[in-house]
Structure 1
C-alpha cells in the first residue's frame, strides 16, 4: 500500500538519501538537504512524501499562506513515473487546499521542461506570465502557471481518491518510526 506521509525534520533525515536521489534524478539544479530541512521547519510549508514500505516513491513541497498555495517542488522516482503518482500528489494538495478555503495554486516551471508543462496543463494549470531570468543556474525565465480551485463540481472521490493513495501523517517519534495513523481530511 502507498501512503502519503508528512516529512518532519526527523522523517526527512530518515529518508534523506532516497529523497535526494529522486531530486537529483529529476532536476538540473536539485535542492540539497539544507533546502528540504528549511522547508520542514517553515511554518507555511508542507512537505509530503509517497511511501511504499520503507521506499520513497516521490514527494511534493508547497507553501500555503495569504489564501494561496505556491507549489515549490514535486518529483517522482524515475522508476515510478507515469503511474499516476504525480497526479495523486497534486490531487491531495488540491483537496487539502480546498479544505482550507484556498482558491488558487501557483507554480513556476522552466520553459525547457516540456514534460512538466504538459503535466501541469493536463492537471488544469494555465500559463499566466513569465518571470525573467528566474532560474539562477541558467538565467532561464520561469513560466508562471496557476490553477483556480473554484470548480467544486468534482466528487469527493475524484478530489480525494487518486491512485490508491491514503493520507497519513508522520510525527516522527524518538525511534524515528513514521506513524501509520490515518487522518481524515474534511471534504
Structure 2
C-alpha cells in the first residue's frame, strides 16, 4: 500500500528563507542571496510561495504584480522532485494570486537553452514576444521573453487538476 504525499503551496515566510536559499544554490548558477530573498518578503508588489511535500520545502516561486501585469521572478524545484507537475502547480498558483491582485497577464524570462521550462510555459499559454541577448551574467546566454495575455483563461482551463 502506497502512502499519499501531503502537498501544499503556501506563502513564503521568514522562517523559510534558509530552505529557499538552499534550493536557489542547487538550482541556479547565480543564486539570490538570503538578504535578497528576505527583502522580497517585505516588497509590497511581490508574492512568494513555497511548495512543500510532507512538510519539506521542495520548490518555490515568486512574482511581482504591477497594475494589470505580473512578472515571474523565479520558479525552482529541487531536482529529485522534478517531472511531477510541481512547477506547473506553482505557476498556476502564482497566476491565481496575480488574478486576485488585479493582473490579467503575466510575463517571464527563460534561458534560451532551457527546453523543459519552455515546454511547461508553452503548455500554459505563454508565447515568445522577444529575446534579450546576453541576459544571464553567468553564461552570457540570451533570455526569451514570454507572455501569457490571459492568465484567467489559463487558470480556468486547468480546472481542479492543479
Which TM-score tier does this pair reach, normalised by the shorter chain? 0.7 to 0.9
C-alpha displacement of 1:161: 4.8
Partner deviation per Cα, 1:43-86 (whole Å, 9 max, x = no partner): 11111101233310210011011210000100111111111111
Pick closer, same or farther for the CA change 1:132–1:101 going to 2, 3 Å: same
Query: Residue 125 of structure 1 contacts residue 145 of structure 1 at CA under 8 Å; is this kept in 2?
Result: yes
Q: What are structure 2's unaligned runs of at least 5 residues?
A: 1-5
Query: Residue 105 of structure 2 contacts residue 148 of structure 2 at CA under 8 Å; is this kept in 1?
Result: yes
RMSD: 2.1
Task: Output the CA distance in 1 between the equivalents of 2:134 and 2:111.
Answer: 10
Higher relative contact order (CA 8 A, sep 6+): 1
Partner residue of 2:37? Answer: 36
C-alpha displacement of 1:133: 2.1
Task: Output the CA distance in 2 between the equivalents of 1:152 and 1:52.
Answer: 28
Matched, 1:11 2:15: yes
Equivalent positions of 1:1-187 (< 5 A) are: 1-8=6-13, 10-13=14-17, 16=18, 18-149=19-150, 152=153, 155=156, 158-159=158-159, 161-162=161-162
Query: Residue 94 of structure 1 contacts residue 159 of structure 1 at CA under 8 Å; is this kept in 2?
Result: no
Task: Output the CA distance in 2 between the equivalents of 1:27 and 1:153.
Answer: 27
C-alpha displacement of 1:159: 4.3
Query: Residue 59 of structure 1 contacts residue 74 of structure 1 at CA under 8 Å; is this kept in 2?
Result: yes
How many aligned residue pairs are there?
157
C-alpha displacement of 1:41: 1.4
Task: Output the CA distance in 1 between the equivalents of 2:154 and 2:126.
Answer: 17
TM-score, normalised via structure 2 length: 0.85
Task: Output the CA distance in 1 between the equivalents of 2:26 and 2:69.
Answer: 29
Task: Output the CA distance in 1 between the equivalents of 2:87 and 2:64.
Answer: 17
Q: What are structure 1's unaligned runs of at least 5 residues?
A: 163-187
